[in-house]
Structure formats: C-alpha cells, structure tokens
Amino acid sequence: MGMRAVIFVIIGLMLGGCMEETLAPTSQAGWTARDKQLMSNLPYAQAAIPEQFKRHIVSYDRKEAPGTIVIDSDNKFLYYVLPNNKAIRYGIAVGEEAQAWSGIAKVGRMEEWPAWVPTAGEQARLGPLPAFVTGGPHNPLGARGLYMYSGGKDTLYRIHGTNQPEYIGQAISSGCIRMTNEDVIDLYNRVKVGTIVVVLAPHNKTEPFAPHVASAPEAETSY
C-alpha cells in the first residue's frame, strides 16, 4: 500500500470516530500496599479478556460532562468521560435483564475491598452461600465498590470488582456492574463521592435519562 493510500485510510478512520488505543496495563503507582499484597496472590485464574472489552481510550460524542460515568448495559461498556470528546471505555459484566436498573445516580459511598453479605434472594438463587464474606480477592465484590445513590437514597446498585473476570462482556450478575479488579481500581482512583453516573435504559438509547427499573437489586450487597 502506497503512502498516499495509508494517509487516506488514517483520515477515514479518524473521521469515522474509529480510532482507538488500548491502554497500557494499570500501573501499580495508584495501588495501596494492601492492593499489591492481595493482587499478588489471586485465588482465581486470570481470564483472557476479549479485545473489545479491554480498556480503551475512544472517541465520545455524547454530551455528558468530563468526569461522568456512563453505563451502556446493552453493549457491556462503562465509559469515564474525558475532556475533548474522549472517554475511557471499560468492559463490564452486567445484570441479567430482570435485574436491570437504569437512570441517573451519584456515587454516594466508596469502599476498598468491601465485604459481602449475600441477600436472601441470592441465597435462594445461588446458595448455599456464606452469611458473610470478608473483603479480599476471594470476595465477589472484588477490589473496590462504588455505591450509587439517587435523591439521597441508596439505589442498591453498585459498580464493583469481581473474582470471575471470565464473565466480563456478559449479562450474569444480580443487577450490579462488575469490572476486572485492575479496571475498578483504575476507575476508583479517577472518581470521587458525588460523581454523576448515567445508566442508559436498555434497548432505548434515544431517551437515556428516562428512569427505568425492571427489578432493582434487592439488597446492599447484591453483586
């Protein structure tokens, strides 16, 4: 392919908004001493994440302000909006459709290596489960938890890590958003309490702000 053809291909990709760049693996510079200790001895196998669900910087044409989190459950992506029409796109696992929630919320609480108390519904669907699971890489909530609040009330909807990275890109959870532990640490270090979270309504991208609840996660520690 001649140089002129290469230039035309590059221009075409740029105009189409298709230029993507896979980010380098998360630097441990933002990890705590506990992160380094726990992530060095994982009790689960590291999964081969499909290319489209690895972390990328992408073009972003929606109108949310930089610093906003946008969740596209249909396509299994979470976006952290950057300046200049860019966003960091993370692959996620989402809730089964019957467990879905959508609307606008804020990050009301943030935790590192949160504990997990399975709900009665989770015990019935997935059990028997322990009554309480301490925080750590063995815990289904993973390395970080971002707790969503709306109107000053807990939505019971969370963004958190996982000990099952092989499910990234699938609809498998009990209503919450799962990320790899590496990605959720990266996101956690970028946000703060009060960060806006926009959860797009399923199958309806033309009215993303219309609240929709098929079935809200049933308790604080749903995953």
Query: Which residues are known to be catalytic?
Result: 160, 176
Length, in residues, of the chain? 223
Alpha-carbon distance 24 to 19, whole Å? Answer: 16
Q: What is the DSSP string of 20-53?
A: -EEPPPPPGGG--HHHHHHHTS-SSPPP---GGG
CA–CA separation, 160 and 43 (whole Å):
18
Q: Could you give the C-alpha distances from 186 to 73, 96, 219, in angstroms and in order?
A: 20, 25, 26
Cβ neighbours of 132 (radius 10 Å): 10
**8 Å CB contact between 133 and 139:** yes
Listed residue (212, 45, 220, 218) closest to 125, CA to CA:
218
